[in-house]
Structure 1
Amino acid sequence: MKGQYRAAANRRKGLPVLGRSPHGAPPRMLTRFGDLFQDHPQPMWIYDVDTLRFLRVNAAACRHYGYTTDEFLHMTIRDIRPRDEHARLEADLAATAGEQKAPQSSGVWTHLKRDGTPIAVRISSHAVTYLGHRARLVFALDVTAQEATERALYRSEQLYRSLIDTMPHQVYWKDLDLQYVGCNRVFAEAAGLDDPQEVVGKSDENLIWRRQAQRMAAEDRIVVDTGHPLLDREDTLTGPDGKQRRYLVNKLPLYGPEGAIIGMLGTLEDITSRRKAEETLRLQGRALDASVNAIVITRQVNRQDVIVYANPAFARISGYELAEVVGQDCRFLQADDRDQEGLYLLRDALQTNREATVVLRNYRKDGTLFWNQLHIAPVLDAGGKVTHWVGVINDITDTMRYQQDLEHQSTHDALTGLPNRNLFRDRLDQAISYAARYRNQLWVVVLDLDNFKLINDTLGHAVGDSLLQTVGERLRAALRDSDTVARLGGDEFILLLLDQPGGGLSQRTVQTILEAVSAPMRLGAHDLALTCSMGVAVYPRDGETGSSLFKHADIALYRAKDGGRNQLQFYTEEMNDRVTERTLIEGHLRHALVRNEFLLYFQPRVDCVSGEVVGLEALLRWQHPELGLVSPVRFISVAEETGRIVEIGEWVLKTACLQAMAWQQAGLAPVPVAVNVSARQFRHAAFVQEVKDALEASGLEPRYLELELTESVMMHNVDVVIAAMSQLKEMGICLSIDDFGTGYSSLNYLRRFPIDYLKIDQSFVRDMLDDPPGAAIVRSIIALGHSLAFRIIAEGVETPEQLAYLKEEGCDEIQGYLCSRPVPEKEAAVLLGSER
């Protein structure tokens, strides 16, 4: 009877009655409640308020907690709570003990499964009468995952500086007329009410916007009329403040003591912040996934920076997948390469909790090196404590390689890969500092390949480049690691030799260098053999600075080349005097043409039989205001090396033509004027045109102009030379080979050249009367020339005996002091006016 009175009291208070009738017959509502209760997907139970014993549990609760129904019915709700929450449980029970309490949510509790696993459970309950007991109907929602998600969202908010909130449920009850019977405080606050009791008797139209109220009422009516619950539906509702919020809606029918539906129970879980946070997290995750830079997040575990996250770019850059790196100390990227300046800077930043940017050498999964520009930044919690570190990895391998290539290019020769002049200077300065400190010697050797230009011109630049590369490799292999070989440019190399055995540059060292260069080499289809000239300067004897040693070694090299090549010369003060002279000449020569300091002397050619002057050779002289009359021996070679011989030669050509024409106009006997043509001048592309211009400007007939070429001019690019000579011959100009016999003419080529004269070099004429071989050479040249229809001119004839011999051998003309020394223009005019 006590249960009946209590049930009647509960009905008067608006509480649902669940259980059997006083006569034991199961009412219709109990059957429907049982079905709903048993099949509900969430754990549900009913427990006795007085004894706390479970009176009924559904299948979902058994599955979720791991107990059978019988085991549950022998337990109390204390048995699924940890001991440290029993005090809270008692307080909650005391708060809900009164029968006048409306249905309410009891918040989130920690429950224990049968195996001891703790879970977070959100409890929704309200007072009911069940089988005559004062009881509570409990809805249990496992929010363990949700709690973990919310914690992750909170951590993400700290990591990515965005806020993700989670809100508790709103719970309400309605009757069949869809009028509110009760609600929890969260619902009241959301509805703009100060007290949950204010909701009683109101409808949705009193609380929310009309259109939403009509839609909600339609849904509620379906639940009440059909008994079908509406579960986990998302909806957007507008609150009294006009703001829209997103909710997770659940609606369940409530049954009365007779088994009839007497109303409905609804919950609204505000998921606005969660959805916004999930969207933000999704966008942030997408941003991280799309980043071209690798991003890692670490936290410190046992004084190690352990990776907890890495984006897809990290796998692309490093070759490691996320599963391979999570939990690892991020220092594994440096492998064994731990002695890096960037690592020291990085450790300092980590210890002082500050941002930093460093450059590190990292290694991919396959072991290849990549350069990492790493930026790190700490992540702080609400209390300002560092919880994580974010690292942004920028792969700058291409940039570093480009910088290294630029640095290598600035310090190394592009063709041979050897150090260039800049790097050699730096090493030389360091070596001098070391030698000065320990009073050691060092040797600077400038090395130049002999006749390289000939090889380059005849075989092509590709062969020349291969030859330079081979020589560079050989020199590098011939020297010790402590020595340096560099390429200065062209075919010139420079060596820095340190700490030579015995305290001097040994013959063995020199021989090793010479053999490295001169050993035969095969480049493509060509077998080549080289020689080289070397100049040596010794520290500190020949200089105490890099510049002085370099200069003096270069001077010694020129001396070696002048001495016949294929040799080594040590620097001496005498060489410096020669270089000083050359520098002086070169400086003055630069302005000689502009200042009109050049003049021509003329030396006659005389017919051996008649003794008549049959021609004049124009010889260049330099009348310097300070140096006086400068001999060609002093300045012609400088003009050749500096390239000024081209413009000087053009001046000689024009001046000689003008002078020859002036003599003719003065009524003197017209004779040819011979002009010497240098190799550089003849190879000049405009040379033939310059000859034409000189003839046209002077009005001189081409037959009165002779051009004297040396053998060396004609033996380079023979076909091109023959073509140019043929053009000159077609113009009517006479051509001669000067200094014949001193070069390396090929008789095969000689017969192809369109020449008129051979000039026997004075070195053969001078000694021919006392030197039978010399006389034989002269005789042979005369015979050879006549057989090829050339006229023969003997140079350097100084005695009547020489003239007599040459006449006897059939020489055509002579030139030398016997006839006349070279004389200025006025004296040459006198010679032209005489008969002999």
Structure 2
Amino acid sequence: MKDSDSILQLIADTTPALLAYFDARTLRCRFANASYASYFGFTIQSIVGRTVQEIAGDAVWQEVQAYFPRVLVDRQSVRYTRKVERDTGETQYLETVLRPHIDNGEFKGLVALVTDVSHHYRMAQQMRASEERMRKFAEITTEAIVVHQGGIIMDGNDALARLTGYPLDALRGRHVLEYIAPEYRAQALEHGRSGGEDCYESMIVHKSGRHIPVEVEGKSMPGAERDSRIVLLRDLTASRQVQEHMDFLAQHDLLTRLPNRARLNQLMKNALAQATVRQERLAILSIDIDHFKAVNDSLSHHAGDLLLCEVARRLSATVRAQDIVARMGGDDFVAVLTGDPTPQEAEAMATRLCQAIEAPCDIDGTQFVVSLSMGIAMFPGNGDTPEMLLGNAEAAMHMAKDIGRRSFQFYTSTLESRSTRMLMQEQLLRRAVEQGELELHYQPQIATADGTLTGLEALVRWRHPQRGLVYPNEFIGLAEDLGMISEVGRWVLREACRQVKVWQDAGFPVVPVAINLSAQEFLQRDVARDVAEALWETGLEARYLHIELTESTLMQSGGQMSDTLHALKALGVSLAIDDFGTGYSSLAYLRRHPIDKLKIDRSFVTDVPRDADATAIVNAIVQMSHSLHLQIVAEGVETQEQLDLLRSLHCTTAQGYLISRPLPADQTQAWMSQHLHKS
């Protein structure tokens, strides 16, 4: 018997629950495992012979004694749960099972089994809280939620009804596959059966028959009888439209809607590959509008934009459907003639293009007659890559300009080589930097609320000895190609800081000046060090210098960019994203980089308020800026209606021709004097 008692004690002590045996007549303990004895402060020897009341205490006995008659008298098993507040402050839930011991009809005793079920109680509480949170979330979220068991819809939210077009009552009890497009049903079925929790895309069939793209994410929820699946459906219609729009923007010129430089490069690669296989020729026409700058100078950028759009329309209407027309930037266009054109056919097309463009056009009530200068390069004779063909066509175009404009030239070996031309251009640009031919023009920025001057943007110009005032789109790219952009950038930085400090000392408004930096400047030099030196040399406080970067610059420059931007912020310089909305349009850099300000690109502002889409885009950018606590500036404001709309949208700052065109330093000073007098 001793061995049996020892084995029984070992088994009882191994049991995780509290276990004891009480005599039926006296309710005195005859046996207990170590856990039971220890819980009540006894040993397995000292607890034997004690009553339930003596073991648990008077308070507990008063609480549980009502359960014992059912065991002692009715000889039934009893189960109850008791809440216990421990000295540690922890709440514990103990489940007790009292079971009678009957041997040959004789009631000999009862077994008490006590289990800690606190974990189950907490889980239940958490489940109830989770269900309540889920209910509230389902009510307010715009994402559709469906709960199903084995594919049968049990419940959903209002967003699900909107997504499918059916009321919830009509959805409950139906199979989810009924509302999924047939080609996506196998995928949905397998995902549900496997309990997959990764996102995937599917297609919902609306009651109207319309197919709606959705992103699906499902989670399995264990249930008492059967597991359920809770599935979130995100309508991708808007994001697909935005993505398509952004893809279009990334490959097309925003103003003319023609393919841009990047898209042209891809189209030319495809055309060259096809022409090579078919042993056909291509003709590349580099097209430039003669004296285009005069339009901007005499009227406005708005008039210039209208002219560019009209030129784009006429070029596209004149070439054949198989040909390509693209805008390279500024007033530079390219036409690619496919289908094995001969040089004579290329010349005939160039003549037709010149004639089409020279037809009078009406721009804002003013009649214009403009002409073209064109250069023509032929594949395969003049090159076999997009870069070589475009470069040679451009060289021929410049030759056409040099001999009097309003003409076209074929590229030939007698033309100066690209390297020679680049060398001459490098010498001219170096002379411009060294002999002070560069100058800064300043465009004011004002508060939309009251017209107060809030800042100036410094824009570089080249006072060419023969060509007159040359705009940056004609030489900044050249400076980058020649590796001279750092020299130009350092001069712009120092001159802008110097001039603004002079104005501040003279009593003019103390406002910041903004300068633009390109991606190459961050790669070629220590921008933060140069800025620190310029501020120290000129005495300008760092808070009055704003640096503007394009979205593409942020995306191109890698980890070095982040380090430099944080170094600039440490100096106290403000950072802005220029032309926001026209680059990669990824919001990740707003989180990664210490950006202070967004500048809405003028291409969006130009179309407000008459274009609802443009107005919506501007409003979205403004609201996003406010939510991210960023300053916001709208560029290209040319009408009072645009300014009024921007004010109503709470866009705080504006710049553009309505306020002032970019002015030389002396005219900027006069403008500020007049502005101060008015205010």
Higher RCO (CA-CA < 8 Å; seq separation 6+):
2
- TM-score category of the 2 structures, normalised to the smaller one: 0.3 to 0.5
TM-score normalized by structure 1? Answer: 0.36
